[in-house]
Amino acid sequence: MKSVFFVIIPSLLLASAASAQKERQDPGCARDVARHCRAVMNDGDMAVLDCLKQNRARLSKTCEKVLTEHGQ
């Protein structure tokens, strides 16, 4: 029984660490919002979207792709 414990727990810890790493990755525009639109972050999603559009020339390629894929 002890050997099962030592196999399962490390496997769960590794899976948990991989999941946490995946969640921390920038999904597209978080860095750009923090960099260019910090002043409007508390004004709602539409204000942030408008800000990103106004700063489109300065956005990362990833964020530009996210906006384009969502028809913005």
| Domains in the chain, number | 1
The confidence score (pLDDT) of residue 26 equals: 59
Distance CA 47, CA 45 (A): 5
Residue 19's domain comprises: 2-69
pLDDT along the chain (72 residues), means of 10: 42 43 64 95 93 96 92 92
The confidence score (pLDDT) of residue 36 equals: 96
The confidence score (pLDDT) of residue 54 equals: 97
Residues listed for the chain: 72
Cβ 29 vs Cβ 63: under 8 Å? yes
Output the pTM of the full model: 0.63
